[in-house]
Structure 1
Amino acid sequence: MDLTGLEWSVLRDRKSAVELQKFVCTTERPRTDRGRTLKHPKEWEFEVQALLRNGSRHLKAHGLLLAGRGLSPDHQIDAAAWLEIGAANDVLELFIKACGVCLDQRHRGGVIADEMMQQALMTGSAALEDAGKNRMRVPWNLHVRYSASESYFTRSGFEPSGLPVGHYQ
């Protein structure tokens, strides 16, 4: 356990990723008075939740999920990140496909997110060593309207690279 009290584990196969199907990192989609489902106000959060929940169906051999547990009484997953690892020449790429903190822990979201980033980088460093590579590159995409995520990556020492593609940069 670290400062947040979370215990981190790596989920490498689809079977172990099934427990993420209950992961909640955003609010439900709003509804009209007549019950019609509306567009989610923070579409990027909804997309991240969908990606993490569907990890058991789409996880490939080069992907893994980080799961942080421990703050809730039932030991549910309180934070999760989907990482994909690839290599080209002497560079290992650690792509952070999605990451989120459950709604119940949002009041501690920044601290938990910082620890999740450290866990992701430690996982990447271990893969770097295992692959015998010299350098690691950490590409990521984030929604241009999601300033909290931008602050998260900037606080972690990353800088934007390239031009935005659609709603993502």
Structure 2
Amino acid sequence: MATKADRTLMQGFTCTEPARRNPRNGRSLPHHKEWEFEVQKWFRSGDAMADANGDAVHDGRLLLGLVGGGLAACASHSRLNHPGVETPLRKLLAFPGPIRNFKAFGIDCKHRGQGGAIADDAMEYVLADMFARERYAPTLVIARVDRRNAASEAFLGRHEFALIDDLPEPDEYRNWFTVLEAE
């Protein structure tokens, strides 16, 4: 769990390449992977920590993964508290138990391209944390992913998340879910 002492570490978190520059004037162009840039900005700005610390009612969590003393992964989750999503989700899946909202997940660029081992380990740790927070009761996990982010959708698929097409969402995000159960 992240603390105030981790704020400086988080300000250096880089989970996307820098924006490209206009070759004529050197100005930044719009970022080519906006979804990665938004996640990076959220973790760096301190909003992720403020969100986790201010969300005690919904058990907000901000988890950091360190490798060799450097920040390798960031993840945030909490209990779902959004009736506009929760009600149709419960109806669609007939799930009466707790629901965790997977808010954000990122792997630092220095730790990418290594066969996904760090990302997979981080995901397993986050899912175990969610399950433990719900006292090992069957737990539904929902994650929203920008529909242009094929890599994250494939990653969720490898971790047994399934796409939900039937939830009303007016934006560019798609909903994915999995159910955590004792083995």
Q: Which residue does the alignment assign to 1:113?
A: 119
Relative to structure 1, is the Cα distance of residues 41 and 77 closer, same or farther in structure 2, using a 3 angstrom cutoff? same
Q: Which residue does the alignment assign to 2:27?
A: 36
Q: TM-score, normalised by structure 2?
A: 0.74
CA RMSD of aligned residues (A): 2.3
The alignment covers a number of residue pairs equal to 152
User: Unmatched 5+ residue regions in structure 2?
Assistant: 87-94, 175-183
Amino acid at match of 1:81: A
Of residues 123, 128, 137, the one that matches 1:122 is: 128
- How far did 1:110 drift? 1.8
Describe how 1:1-169 pairs up with structure 2 within 5 A.
Answer: 10-11=1-2, 13=3, 15-18=4-7, 19-33=9-23, 34-54=25-45, 55-59=48-52, 60=54, 61=56, 62-71=59-68, 75-86=69-80, 91-108=97-114, 110-129=116-135, 134-161=137-164, 162-163=166-167, 165-169=170-174
Secondary structure of 1:142's partner? strand
Q: TM-score, normalised by structure 1?
A: 0.79
Cα offsets for 1:79-131 (capped at 9, x unmatched): 111112348995222211111111111112622111111111110111111xx
Higher RCO (C-alpha 8 Å, min separation 6): 1
Relative to structure 1, is the Cα distance of residues 124 and 155 closer, same or farther in structure 2, using a 3 angstrom cutoff? same
User: Unmatched 5+ residue regions in structure 1?
Assistant: 1-9
